[in-house]
Structure 1
């Protein structure tokens, strides 16, 4: 994100917020908001490391394959990947308080993930990207 202008960063943040509130179950989004947890508090590392630190090393090649295939659409697609990644733990997140959520999201339990779990996240992200990416702009004004 270092190469993005302030306006582009603002647009990414707005898109992340939109995905968080529209794509995740509404109870998860509401709970996170009630706890005062902002997307940026846990997603900064996700964006900077492109989820490489959050998944087992053996799955990195599959993840990078997707990133390379997306080409210039990758920044938009990442928002959908992150929303799908979060949705994986929606039931758990609804039971956690602020500090527990922060700790959980900084150390998501993916150590036993295999191809199936990653494919589910990527497939769901691809579906959402296909459905919503060309819809009218949902960026927040300002």
Structure 2
């Protein structure tokens, strides 16, 4: 099993230039070594190369640098053709309820982030989500999928604006119509990659989510029995707080900048958004174990867990969490009978 370099996990600022150079070398080669990209990306991707790296890790861009431009042209055109083919059907009787739910959910995403309150951005998300639901009728659109577009959208937007501008506050209308279309198409295809690994989170009865909640409970029983017993004594069921963690991939628990850093590692991991995510959730719950044990009844416990004090977290806190999650994976991933449900996801 590959292990991240501890010195990379806790990168001091003066190493950032060196890391950027390493990425630049890897990405510029005639055939990018994706295994090396994954190893380097686990410890965080420098913002200037994050968009390209994510697209490579999603399998959206080919490893061969000469094929990338043609691939982007072809996939962006395919997405545009899907809009032409499907989007006019949003008002049809058969699809009206789906589009109505998307239209309700999109404005609720990241209400504190100005970017996502702009009409052009919301319309872009509506197209992405409706086209995805039309191309995947087995699951269709389910609440929670809308949140999963946001990291891709912000990262790909960042590629087109100067580094000193915060994409979360950016006026989307300043971009050219073509650039807007590119960001939308790239976000769609990378969402599709993510969903391929966790689609059973969103099919009927959401079996993927249910399996991951069982796996989380099993982990906590092994690593923090007093916490598990405390939850049981106070009638706190894991599904009551962790359903959102699995359904939204912790999007509601962390600031968007932290989610993006988290996804650097998820995209680097084999099955990162499924199995490894369970270890991250276990590490998060264990991180606040002492605080939870101080809460003495159901209401106090639930109020705390549903409002964890993570709003001011930055990359450093996320990296510590990831390191703890990696330790759990190293300890338990290959243990007989452990996390069998998560491995099926």
Bucket of the pairwise TM-score, normalised by the shorter protein:
0.7 to 0.9
Q: Does 1:87 align with 2:300?
A: no
Counterparts of 1:4 and 1:122, CA distance in 2: 31
* Displacement of 1:39: 0.8
| Structure 2: runs of 5 or more not aligned | 1-200
Q: Summarize the Cα distance change of 1:5–1:119 in structure 2 as closer, same or farther, 3 Å threshold.
A: same
Counterparts of 1:132 and 1:33, CA distance in 2: 23
**TM-score, length-normalised on structure 1?**
0.86
Counterparts of 1:9 and 1:86, CA distance in 2: 17
- 1:77 pairs, out of 276, 279, 300, with 276
* Displacement of 1:8: 5.1
Which residue pairs with 2:309 in the alignment?
A: 109
| Greater RCO structure (CA 8 Å; 6+ sep) | 1
Counterparts of 1:10 and 1:46, CA distance in 2: 11
Q: Tell me, yes or no, if the aligned pair for 1:14 and 1:140 is still in contact at 8 Å.
A: no
Which residue pairs with 2:226 in the alignment?
A: 27
Q: Summarize the Cα distance change of 1:101–1:135 in structure 2 as closer, same or farther, 3 Å threshold.
A: same
Which residue pairs with 1:129 in the alignment?
A: 329
Q: Summarize the Cα distance change of 1:10–1:42 in structure 2 as closer, same or farther, 3 Å threshold.
A: closer
Q: Summarize the Cα distance change of 1:140–1:65 in structure 2 as closer, same or farther, 3 Å threshold.
A: closer
* Displacement of 1:47: 0.8
Counterparts of 1:80 and 1:126, CA distance in 2: 7
Q: Summarize the Cα distance change of 1:77–1:140 in structure 2 as closer, same or farther, 3 Å threshold.
A: closer
Render the CA deviation track for 1:68-89: whole Å, top value 9, x for unaligned: 1124253111111101001111
Q: Tell me, yes or no, if the aligned pair for 1:81 and 1:122 is still in contact at 8 Å.
A: yes
* Displacement of 1:50: 0.5
**TM-score, length-normalised on structure 2?**
0.38
Q: Summarize the Cα distance change of 1:49–1:9 in structure 2 as closer, same or farther, 3 Å threshold.
A: closer
Render the CA deviation track for 1:29-57: whole Å, top value 9, x for unaligned: 11111001111100111111111111112
Which residue pairs with 2:195 in the alignment?
A: none
Of the two, which has the highest radius of gyration?
A: 2
Q: Does 1:119 align with 2:319?
A: yes
Match of 2:254, SS state, is coil
Counterparts of 2:284 and 2:267, CA distance in 1: 19
